[in-house]
Amino acid sequence: MSAERETRLIVISPASEITPDQVSRAIHAMGKNVTVKESCYGAVVEGQRDIVRQVVSEIKSMDPNGVFSKVRAYPAGDPRRCRAHHGTRPGFAQLEQEWNDLWKIQYGLDRADRGEKARKRKTPGKLPVGEFKKICEVKR
């Protein structure tokens, strides 16, 4: 495939109302020259880079804070990474974990859009020796 090929994972936050089926139907309806494969997390869309990016951007607009995406190195169904041949690919468990947590990010994006600021980060320190000593002495 040409160097211009782009394969994108579209991943829907578990808290989003959008379904993978809606995503793939929406892409089909766009009538663009891309291939779409529905997945349990969303869809894999593949085609020429600029068209794929356009498609992703349109899909994201369906739920801007609930639809996420990243590029995928391998073309869809590439036998070099096909689950049917080799079992899960090495990065799958991570994707699964991040998908699980996307609802938090979605929530964070919503709050950031409302202008919320980041809280001051507290660095959890160790108990000072003196205080620890006091606790030990009380317990004795």
Partner 1 sequence: MKIFIDPPNSLILFDLVERSGHEPLSTMAAIQEKIDRTEIDMPPMNLSLEDVMLGLKYAGIEVPSGVRGRLAVWGPMIEAAEAAVIMEDCPYSFGCVGCHRANLMVRYMIKRKNIPVLNVNYPNNEDEATDLVVEIREFLEGLK
Partner 2 sequence: MIKIAQLSCGTEYSSVQYEIDKAARSVGASMTYPDVSASDIDAAVERFGFKPQSPQLKLMIARAVQLADRKYDADAVFIATCFRCAEGALVRNELRRFIQDNTKLPVVTYSFTERLKAAQLLTRMEALVTVVTRKELLARERQTGVTVGLDSGSSTTKAVVMIDNVIAGKDWTPSGDVIRSAETVLENALKEAGVLMKDVEAIGTTGYGRYRLGKHYNAKLVQEELTVNSKGAVWLANKQRGEATILDIGGMDNKAITVRDGVPDNFTMGGICAGASGRFLEMVSKRLKIEVTELGSLADKGDWRNAKMNSYCSVFGIQDLVTTLGDGKTFEDVAAAACHSVAEQVYEQQLQEIDVRHPIIQVGGTSLISGLVKAVGEVLGSKPIVPENSQYIGAVGGAILSSGFLEG
Which range, of 12-20, 37-45, 69-77, 84-92, touches partner 2 by CB under 8 A? Answer: 84-92
Which range, of 17-25, 27-35, 109-117, 124-132, touches partner 1 by CB under 8 A? Answer: 109-117
Question: Which residue's CB is nearer to partner 1, number 3 or number 129?
Answer: 3
Listed in sequence order, the residues at least 6 apart from 23 whose beta carbon sits closer than 8 Å to its beta carbon are 10, 12, 38, 42, 43, 59, 62, 67
Q: Using CA atoms, how far apart are residues 49 and 7, in angstroms rounded to an integer?
A: 8
Question: Which residue's CB is nearer to partner 1, number 73 or number 135?
Answer: 73
31 Ramachandran zone, left/alpha/beta (phi>0; psi -120 to 50): left
- Residue from the set 77, 100, 104, 108 that interacts with partner 2 by CB under 8 A: 100
Question: Which residue's CB is nearer to partner 2, number 50 or number 101?
Answer: 101
